[in-house]
Structure 1
Amino acid sequence: MTLTVEASSLSLNDVHRFLKLEELATGSFTEFLNLEPLTEFEQQDLLRIRKDFHRYLRLGKISEGLVKFLTLAPLMRLAGFYDVPIRLTMEDSIAIAVEDEDRRITGRMDILAINCPQNNIAPPFLVLVIETKNSALEVGEGLPQLLTYAFKSLAQQPSVWGLATNGLRYQFVSLKHDQQPTYQLMPLLNLNESPGAIELLQVLKAVCKLPNFQ
């Protein structure tokens, strides 16, 4: 009999064991991405996003849905995720059969950014998987779900980027599948800190521009 497990109930140890994922040492954005300077317009728009979020944060806990609305939606628009050939989807369901165990992991991915080539020659490429939490939770609490969801895409492509966020803090993860599936955490970024906010938008822009053959 196959046991069904919700991804939201998994710990990091569970993810490592079930999916045979190995954590590597913390990586650097510049090892993987070309971070370009922001324009004056981008910096001003970024400042507005920061101010809007900070205003709501002073009022108390920000729900997961509002985190998406206040920060992710405008940040992803500014980074180019609303443009062709990228397509965004939300609440996509997944199911992963766990090797060597009568177990299946299920769940729903919050936000997916998929590169869909218009020539239909290359297959769609999953660019970024995002897991959001409300502002009162630590961003690390979203990592088991994020890793599980991002791992699913490694069956079709060699690598993928993931992002876990509570609106204030942003944890990027790079996953790869060679002989052994691995992941690297990137430096944690804070929207309330100017250098972190700038790097956050730079990273999102760079991930958005990744080709289909990472």
Structure 2
Amino acid sequence: MTLTLQASKLNLHDVKTKFNLRQDEADKFFTQLVQDAPALSEFEKQVLDRTKQQYLYLAERPLLEVTVKMVTLSPLLSLAGFYDPPFYTTLEDSIEVVSQDGAETVRGQLDVLVLQNAIWVVVVEAKSIQYDVMIALPQALTYMMASPATNKELFGMITNGREFRFIRLNQAPQPTYILSKVFSLSEIENHLYEVLQILKCLGQLVLTHTTRSA
């Protein structure tokens, strides 16, 4: 008999155990991406400065998840090119993934999923500002493990609107993930600059990989 679980109910220990998943503590990948990323244009900086200003104003009151998506995520995904061909974005897709021993099936809903030729590029789990951004990690990892592209790198981003953190997942030979540092709108400098640079770099990595595989 297969037990069905909701992805939103799983904690990090559950996810790591069910999928034999381990974390690599090294964070050189995302650090290097930011160092090598092209500089942003003045227009991009102006949009991100206004986005941060608007978010901080709205965050003085309780924010719903849908508001977080509109205020912070939409400008980032747009500037990163994820609303343009060949990328396309789907909302609230159902996923299903079976644990390694086949005894449990996990079902859940994706908040935002950006795809290109069936490759998962960015999985965004937008959680309320009142929760730590890491509360979204177990759910995001579960969704990324559901990808059929088991021989490719998968990239994700989790956010509560105020904080952003990136994930890199390799499923073979053993599922392993690394995390970026936390990028926070609570800091004086605008960390949205670095968030956008990473998003643009991840999009280019996937496009390059797809071109080589064609």
Q: Please, what TM-score do these two structures have when normalized by structure 1?
A: 0.90
Deviations 1:142-180 (A, max 9, x none): 000011001111544411111110000001110012210
1:1-214 residue pairs with structure 2 within 5 A? Answer: 1-28=1-28, 29-31=30-32, 34-58=36-60, 60-116=61-117, 124-153=118-147, 155-193=149-187, 194-212=189-207, 213=209
Alignment RMSD: 1.7
8 Å CA contact retained: 1:5, 1:105: yes
CA distance in 2, matches of 1:163, 1:83: 19
Count, aligned residues: 206
- Taking the aligned partners of 1:46 and 1:192, their CA distance within structure 2 comes to 14
How far apart, in 2, do the equivalents of 1:73 and 1:144 lie?
23
Where structure 1 has 5 or more consecutive residues not aligned to the other structure, the ranges are 117-123
Contact 1:159 1:177 in 2 (8 A): yes
2: CA distance, partners of 1:128 / 1:157: 17
Q: What percentage of residue pairs aligned between the two structures are identical?
A: 36
Q: Which runs of 5+ in 2 are unaligned?
A: none
* 1:108-150, Cα deviation, whole Å (9 max, x unpaired): 111111113xxxxxxx322111111011111010000011001
**TM-score w.r.t. length of structure 2:** 0.90
Q: Give the SS at the match of 2:141.
A: helix
Cα distance in 1 for partners of 2:76, 2:8 equals 25
The 1:195–1:47 alpha-carbon spacing in structure 2 relative to 1, beyond 3 Å, is closer
**What secondary structure does 1:207 align onto?**
helix
Contact (CA 8 Å) 2:150, 2:172: kept in 1 or not? no
Q: Distance in 1 between matches of 2:20 and 2:54?
A: 40
